Every structure is written in C-alpha cells, then in structure tokens.
C-alpha cells in the first residue's frame, strides 16, 4: 500500500480508498466548500470526502484536479490493482465450514468473487455483521445449486458439442444433464418461486451472477443503499424456504393457541 495511505488514520484510509474506487468508475465533478468536499460522478452517484484526505491523495499523485473535475491517475489505478490482487490471494483459499444437519464438510471458496462475503464480514467499528449466518448460508446454497445446475448462460460458442456432430435422433439439451444437475435446477426454481417475483431478481443478480450492489441499484433505478435491505429481506425469506417443516432447536413444536370457552368441546 502507498506510504501516503498508510500514514493516514484507519478512518481516513477507508475514506481515501473509497474515493479512489469511486473515481475508478468515472471522473467526478468537485463541489462543496473547503473542509468537506462532494464528488459527483459522471455515471451517477455522489460521495463526500474530507479536504485533508483529498490533499494527501493529490500530494501523492494518485488523483488529479483540473478546474472542477477530479480524475484518477495511473498510480492510483495501479494501487487499486495491487490491493485487489493482495485481497484475492489472501481470501482465495479461505476455508469455509458448512453445517447441514449432522454432516459437516469443509470446502475452499473464493470469497473475493461473492458480494455476500463482503456483507458477511464483521464491521470493524461495531464488530457486527450485516448478514446473519442463516442469511449468508442461504445465499451461498442458492449459488451452489445455480452453479452445479449449469444455469449460467453461455457467452461463447460451445465447440465441444456442436450441433453438426450430433447424430439424428440423439438426445441433446436438458437430456444431456445429469440427474444431480437437474435436481439443482429444480431446487433453484422452487426457491425463486418461494421468494416471489418481487425479490427473486436481486437474489439472482447478487448471489448467482455476482453483481455488486451499486450496479444492481443503478440497473433498477433504486435509491442508493436500498439494495442492502432488499437483499437482506430476500435472503431471510430464502432461509425460511430452505428450513420449512423443520423442528426448532429445542425439538418441540410451538404451542398452538385457539379461542374457545371452557365447554366448547361437545360432550359424548
């Protein structure tokens, strides 16, 4: 990391990296008075930045200001690339333990690919997670079924299985999928139906297609930071779907209450 960034306090480091990532998308218009500046991106979005942090980035040559326009310099882009590679190398083989009933298995997951992993991390200031364990594992379960069911759309030609190479009458398409893949597809479809059409789209975008929250909000014209609550609600419903019919941890069914006077039962 740049010496200029490491010299800042933890709060200012977060603000500086946030500003650099914001400028990575597009240049921004610099507004506001001295002390607290506002950056309005050309592709939408506005963030605030303290003047001392901005001056440190200018001094280090990470950003450049021309009149009222601020842009990201090549040194700033190189710094973000180095940080991204370091984060991917650290998290690419992070072990994740999943519990399903009494069976516990460990697997390696590239958490840098999953937007859910970012929301599942503990907040450094509060020590709390935005997503609960149940919500996170429900999203990862949907993603696993989506991947194993080969539901990701193909973006290139399939040269291994050309139409011309198939004999007449030979099965193709879904008939070539294994029973396991078909079961995964069936579970995904049932989960999306249970969540409903209003929230199933954000589950597909973030859990399966691995889109970022900001991108989903722009595509759907949602207010900033509203996608987090929509996602949390969808994951909560998804968790209830996956655990429907299961007994609570105590093993006893909840008490059933009803209305009735003492002699409401007919006498025999």
Contacts of 47 (CB under 8 A, 6+ apart): 18, 19, 22, 38, 39
Annotated domain spans of the chain: 3-85, 95-152+176-242
Lowest-confidence pick of 10-14, 133-137, 198-202 = 10-14
pLDDT band at 193 (very low <50, low <70, confident <90, very high): very high
- At 23-56, the pLDDT tens digits run 888 888 888 766 677 888 887 778 888 888 888 8
Whether the model pTM is above 0.95: no
Phi, psi of 63 (to 5 degrees): -130, 165
User: What tokens does 42 get?
Assistant: 């050309």
Contacts of 137 (CB under 8 A, 6+ apart): 98, 239
Kindly tell me the burial class for residue 146, based on how many C-beta atoms sit within 10 Å of its own C-beta (0-12, 13-18, 19 or more): buried
Q: Which residue carries 């984060």 as its tokens?
A: 87
Task: Give the residue, 3 or 115, on which the prediction is more confident.
Answer: 115
Q: Which residue carries 């290139």 as its tokens?
A: 156
Q: According to the model, what pLDDT value does residue 75 have?
A: 86
């Amino acid at each position: 990391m740049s010496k200029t960034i490491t010299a800042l306090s933890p709060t200012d480091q977060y603000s500086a990296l946030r500003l650099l990532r914001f400028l990575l998308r597009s240049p921004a218009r610099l507004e506001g008075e001295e002390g607290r500046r506002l950056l309005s991106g050309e592709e939408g979005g506005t963030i605030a930045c303290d003047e001392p942090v901005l001056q440190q980035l200018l001094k280090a040559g990470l950003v450049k200001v021309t009149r009222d326009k601020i842009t990201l310099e090549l040194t700033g882009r190189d710094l973000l690339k180095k940080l991204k590679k370091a984060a991917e190398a650290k998290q690419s083989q992070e072990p994740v333990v999943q519990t399903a009933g009494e069976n516990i298995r460990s697997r390696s997951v590239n958490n840098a690919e999953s937007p859910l992993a970012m929301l599942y991390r503990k907040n450094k200031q509060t020590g709390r997670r935005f997503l609960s364990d149940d919500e996170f594992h429900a999203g990862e379960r949907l993603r696993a079924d989506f991947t194993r069911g080969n539901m990701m759309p193909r973006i290139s030609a399939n040269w291994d299985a050309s139409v011309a190479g198939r004999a007449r009458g030979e099965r193709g398409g879904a008939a070539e999928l294994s029973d396991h893949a078909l079961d995964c597809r069936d579970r995904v479809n049932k989960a999306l139906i249970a969540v409903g059409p209003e929230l199933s789209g954000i589950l597909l975008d973030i859990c399966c297609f691995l889109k970022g929250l900001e991108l989903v909000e722009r595509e759907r014209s949602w207010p900033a930071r509203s996608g987090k609550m929509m996602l949390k609600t969808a994951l909560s419903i998804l968790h209830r779907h996956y655990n429907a019919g299961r007994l609570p941890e105590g093993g006893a069914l909840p008490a059933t209450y009803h209305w009735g006077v003492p002699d409401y039962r007919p006498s025999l």
